[in-house]
């Protein structure tokens, strides 16, 4: 990876867009803002799999635990500083309210977790209109991490890749479990 290109792209994307954008992207990066969306996903999954919702809920809990902890482990192994912790970028970076996060940023836990839930939900629910809403959410959350100065674009992209993998694996497992002794779902299970 060309880290110079990653830094240049970061500096291009990390422009001060004003107070409204600052507050908007701080809100988007808040873990609490997604609760209504995740409640909607849980309700849709309950409607589709009512008697087997416990399988979905356990899998989602494990999915988030694994995706989050693996990203933290990578941060502690790779030790790539967040852009907001790079002294050479001090005078170039746009920070909002001094928010920076921990010392290391590769790869983004926010990007990983949102993509993991998105891919899982897309595969398990199969609602085309919801796909675009979820992918838009993932993109906005990913950009918020760059805008706030806490991640390079490569951190976010790698988080999306890892989250896609985790979400796909979890959805594949759930589809296979749900398809057992259920002929309607057997044809929908991912091979």
Two tokens at 79? 């030790």
Give 180 or 119, the one with higher predicted confidence: 119
pLDDT at 103: 94
Establish if 176 belongs to a structural domain. Answer: yes
pLDDT at 163: 98
Establish if 177 belongs to a structural domain. Answer: yes
Per DSSP, what are the bridge partners of residue 104? 81
Establish if 26 belongs to a structural domain. Answer: no
Give CA 47 to chain center in angstroms.
Answer: 24
pLDDT digits 0-9 by tens, 7-59: 999 999 999 999 999 999 999 999 899 999 999 999 999 999 988 999 999 99
Q: Which domain holds residue 62?
A: 35-186
Establish if 143 belongs to a structural domain. Answer: yes
* DSSP output for 92-111: T---STT---SSB-SS-HHH
pLDDT digits 0-9 by tens, 135-161: 999 999 999 999 999 999 999 999 999
- On average, the pLDDT of the chain sits at 91
The rounded distance, in Å, linking the Cα atoms of 164 and 112 is: 8
Establish if 105 belongs to a structural domain. Answer: yes
pLDDT at 78: 94
Establish if 13 belongs to a structural domain. Answer: no
Mean pLDDT of 98-110: 92
- Among 59-63, 67-71, 108-112, 176-180, whose mean pLDDT is lowest? 176-180
Q: Specify the pTM.
A: 0.89
The rounded distance, in Å, linking the Cα atoms of 100 and 82 is: 8
pLDDT at 20: 95
pLDDT at 178: 85
Into how many domains does the chain fold? 1
- Phi, psi torsion values for 105, nearest 5 degrees: -130, -5
pLDDT at 61: 96
Q: Across 98-187, where does the E strand assignment appear?
A: none
What angle is formed at CA 23 by the lines to CA 97 and CA 110, rounded to 5 degrees? 85
Establish if 3 belongs to a structural domain. Answer: no
Mean pLDDT of 81-85: 94
pLDDT digits 0-9 by tens, 113-131: 999 999 999 999 999 999 9
Establish if 12 belongs to a structural domain. Answer: no
Two tokens at 109? 């836990």
Based on the number of CB atoms within 10 Å of its own CB, is 26 exposed (0-12), middle (13-18) or buried (19 or more)? middle
pLDDT at 56: 94
* Omega of the bond leading into 107 within 30 degrees of 0 (cis): yes
Q: How many CB atoms lie within 10 A of CB 45?
A: 21
């Amino acid at each position: 990876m060309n880290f110079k290109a990653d830094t240049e792209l970061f500096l291009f994307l990390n422009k001060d867009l004003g107070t409204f954008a600052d507050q908007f992207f701080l809100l988007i990066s808040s873990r609490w803002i997604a609760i209504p969306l995740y409640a909607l996903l849980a309700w849709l999954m309950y409607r589709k799999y009512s008697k087997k919702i416990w399988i979905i809920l356990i899998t989602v809990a494990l999915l988030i635990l694994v995706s989050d902890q693996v990203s933290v482990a990578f941060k502690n192994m790779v030790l790539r500083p967040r852009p907001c912790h790079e002294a050479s970028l001090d005078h170039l970076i746009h920070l909002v309210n001094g928010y920076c996060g921990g010392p290391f940023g590769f790869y983004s836990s926010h990007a990983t977790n949102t993509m993991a839930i998105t891919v899982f939900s897309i595969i398990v629910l199969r609602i085309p209109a919801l796909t675009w809403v979820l992918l838009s959410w993932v993109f906005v959350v990913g950009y918020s991490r760059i805008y706030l100065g806490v991640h390079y674009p490569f951190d976010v992209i790698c988080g999306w890749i890892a989250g896609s993998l985790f979400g796909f694996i979890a959805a594949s497992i759930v589809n296979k479990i749900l398809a057992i002794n259920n002929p309607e779902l057997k044809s929908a299970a991912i091979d």
